[in-house]
Amino acid sequence: MNKTTSAASLLISAVLVGLQTPLQPIQSALGFSIFGYTCVDYLIPKVGAVFIKRGIFGKDMSKVGRPIIPETIGVIPALVYLLVMFFYIPFLFARKGNNGGGGEADASAFSHSKLSSYLSSLLSLESMILLGLMDDLFDIRWRHKFFLPAIASIPLLIVYHFEFNQTSILLPKFISNAFQLSTSVDLGVLYYFYMAAVSIFCPNSINILAGINGLEVGQTLVIAVLLVINDLYYIVGYFLEDHLIQSAFEVHMFSLCFLIPFLGISLALYKYNKFPAKVFVGDTWCYFSGMVFAVIGISGHFAKTLMLFFLPQILNFVYSSPQLFGIVPCPRHRLPKFNESDGLLYNSYTEYEDSEESAESSDGKKKQLRPYLKPVFNLLEKMYLIKLVRNEKGEIVKSSNLTLINLVIIWFGPRNEGKLCTLIMQLQFAVGLLMLILRHTLAPTVFGFDNSWSMLNRFYIS
């Protein structure tokens, strides 16, 4: 952006934030979103050189010459997001002692009692940024860093326990009928382990669906847009039909207030991270963005719906798990292979030791494919779920790496990096939209009613 556009967008955001209309606080959220975009767009080019100077950079493997670009830039939009969310507070909450319409008209969207939920959400996000930064700086061991999001979720969970302590989840009707159970089951303390698991899952699943320019930010953009659609479904429904409940409306307004500014800062980051990337986002971004979704799902009590929008990440995790857990040998990098001559990305492979090479050579980089996996691999190959390379004796010597990115290349052929990222985002959006439709058509049948509404109703009765 040049100076004129920046000034104009700052002006627009100030008007949106400040002007009292019936569209508040969504209008403020849009204002803060534009403000966040402008800040991030201004800051990233400024700080890139400083990051490189400080040794915080990475090599872009899928480019000619493997250029060095700054790493961990995701911390910049994350910090801007926090700042924006601090300034958003006065536009969201009623003053203390001014709840529920006193003499003076108060346009605030939420009662004062939701302030501590909001603050604890920000504490969890800030903790996540801090821990993510520590991880990017000090390369914390994998088995430790896996749990960092659970630590970051502590303030959120403690305040949740304090404010609501609603620990029931709904069961599908056929299960409660079959086992003569009630329609909901109180998980008690287990509920907190479930929530901690959600907060571990979201950041880590984003972290492992990565490796090509733009995908880390791109996938969070898609999830955020899907969540916004889901929120709007409730909010528009609230105005159109009277059977929808005030509390569901409030929960989804709360979610929108987190998501709209998030979209602004993510778009600015995407501008610099998309192909050809000028910056890398770092683990900090994956942690932060995953935590934003976890916070929204936990504080809104709709973690199960949230999981629907993570389906591609779940599939990627399941598909990757044989390599992640060491059943299939896992190379250091599993990125698709860049071909300098045509500029396209091809499948990358794990190579296996020939069965005739001596068993003692296991110190080498190649490992043997476990015998019982061979029929499995042959079957997967027939289902177009893996690509195998055989030697003249018909033995498997290479198999494509088990990542969603490689799978998309198997299905759709080699592509340019930018187009591959766009394709994956499109697939992700299509799957998410399908889940969204199923969620609001099938769920009422399976659970006996659309669970989140009645759930939220009970949840907010206090």
Binding positions for a second copy, rule: CB under 8 A: 47, 50-51, 54-56, 75, 79, 82-83, 86-87, 89-90, 93, 95-97, 112-113, 115-116, 119-120, 122-123, 126-127, 129-130, 133-134, 137-138, 151, 154-155, 158-159, 161-163, 165, 462
Give the other-Cβ count within 10 Å of 141's Cβ: 9
Q: In terms of CB distance, is 90 or 326 closer to a second copy?
A: 90
Shortest reach from residue 131's CB to a second copy, in Å: 8
Nearer to a second copy, 137 or 433 (CB): 137
On the 0-12 / 13-18 / 19+ scale of CB atoms within 10 A, 80 is buried
CB contact at 8 A, 153 and 196 = yes
| Beta bridge pairs of residue 396 | 390
Tokens describing residue 282: 């770092």
Are 113 and 254 in contact by the 8 Å Cβ rule? The answer is: no
**CA 193 to CA 332: how far, in whole Å?**
32
Q: Whole-angstrom Cα distance, residue 417 to residue 423?
A: 10
Q: What SS3 class is residue 429?
A: helix
* Nearest-approach distance from CB 130 to a second copy, in angstroms: 6
Minimum CB distance to a second copy, residue 23 (Å): 23
58 beta partners: 69
Closest approach, Cβ 122 to a second copy, in A, equals 6
Phi, psi of 295, deg, nearest 5: -60, -45
Nearest to 31 by CA among 18, 49, 41, 21: 18
| Rounded least distance, CB 327 to a second copy, Å | 31
Q: Compare residues 74 and 329 and give the one whose CB is closer to a second copy.
A: 74
Q: Rounded to an integer, what distance in angstroms lies between the CA atom of residue 436 and that of residue 227?
A: 9
Residues 149/200, Cβ–Cβ less than 8 Å: yes
User: Which CB sits closer to a second copy, 39 or 443?
Assistant: 39
**Contact by Cβ (8 Å): 335, 212:** yes
State which residue, 130 or 376, has the beta carbon closest to a second copy.
130
Q: Nearest approach, Cβ of 163 to a second copy (angstroms)?
A: 5
Tokens of 264: 């602004």
In the complex, the smallest distance separating the C-beta of residue 107 from a second copy, rounded to whole angstroms, is 15
Best CA proximity match to 310, nearest among 167, 208, 418: 208
Is the CB of 56 or the CB of 427 nearer to a second copy?
56
In whole angstroms, the minimum distance from the beta carbon of 137 to a second copy comes to 6
Nearer to a second copy, 165 or 441 (CB): 165
Nearest CB to a second copy, comparing residues 162 and 384:
162
